[in-house]
Structure 1
Amino acid sequence: MNVSKLENGTVVQTWRDVETTDEFRVKYGLYGAEYSATPEGVGPGHVVNDKGEYSIPAVKVTPEQITEERNRRITAGFKFEGHIFQADPESLANITGAATAAIGALVAGQSGEDVNWIDPKAPFVWLASDNTQVPMSPLTVVAFGNAAMAHKSRHIHAARVLKDMSPIPQSFADDKYWGGA
């Protein structure tokens, strides 16, 4: 048996070295309704309900935790044409810049399928997360930029749905809440 001190239905202190409340009162000289016998395993932080049942309340999930998970998932990268590519903020900015350059090349009349669109002597390549060099034509780079944008957008929208839930589920990091994101 334990003896615990309760304040507003919450255990704030527990003594495990006594067998009865009488022994507790003699040993510690503490008296009052706030001291009561509690089951083994009950300790600070537990709450008691109207039925005398003890539990540890769930910690409230904050929108900031959802934002952290969203950012973690975005920066984990995305798959494009069989490769995984980085999607940290700097990588996304570089992808956007490359897509803009590819659109400029297409507008200027460059062939959409020519991988030598930047330098006639060497193909334009992008490094995948495993450092594989992936040749890309202007049309491929535009599609790559769109895939990066879609990757980030899916995570932003999935996070918004989670933040709008009340309460936010404790299991918010489970893949089921992030869909195909």
Structure 2
Amino acid sequence: MKELLLQDVNYPIEIEKIVSQNIIDNNDMVKITAAIICKDEEKTIERCIKSIENKVDEIVIIDTGSIDSTIDVVNNMKIDKVKIYQISWNNSFASARNYALDKVTYKWVFFIDADEYLIDEQLDLHRILKLLDEYKSVNKTVFRLRLLTLMDTAVLVWVEFLRRIHILYIMEMYMKKYE
């Protein structure tokens, strides 16, 4: 088992340097799921999806009771990699995230809000996560990605990518590994 210590690493710049120095077989890339938990996001969800559709292999949308046209907007986009699930909101983001984790197909997953969108065009998430995937002790990593918010404010956001094996959300802000 390889060990990787990445303390004080400037993501994703330093990781991109590591990736560029490693020969990575593009035919054996890891698969990535983006998960979106939303409600009444008809005005923003299309922009969010378009910003990530070429960066991920699957987009799982958990709608928690939209009464606007959010679902119609997503369906009209006709993107095969998008999967929509509807659940009732029970006042728990942890519950919604666990539901999303049950629905994702791939090992690496990250959550993005429907009113955010990715603006890092050159970022190759597949290559970065392929490298990290070789280190079995790495169950999650955090990248500082540039996202735009609903107010069109560019922000650097720490986005957590999880290796979804043994992850369970138990409270709003905490995760626990389980066996």
Q: TM-score range by the shorter chain?
A: under 0.3
Normalization by structure 1: what TM-score? Answer: 0.22
* Larger RCO: 1 or 2 (CA < 8 Å, sep 6+): 2
Question: TM-score when scaled to structure 2?
Answer: 0.23
More strand by share: 2
* Larger Rg computed on CA atoms: 1
Higher helix proportion, which one? 1
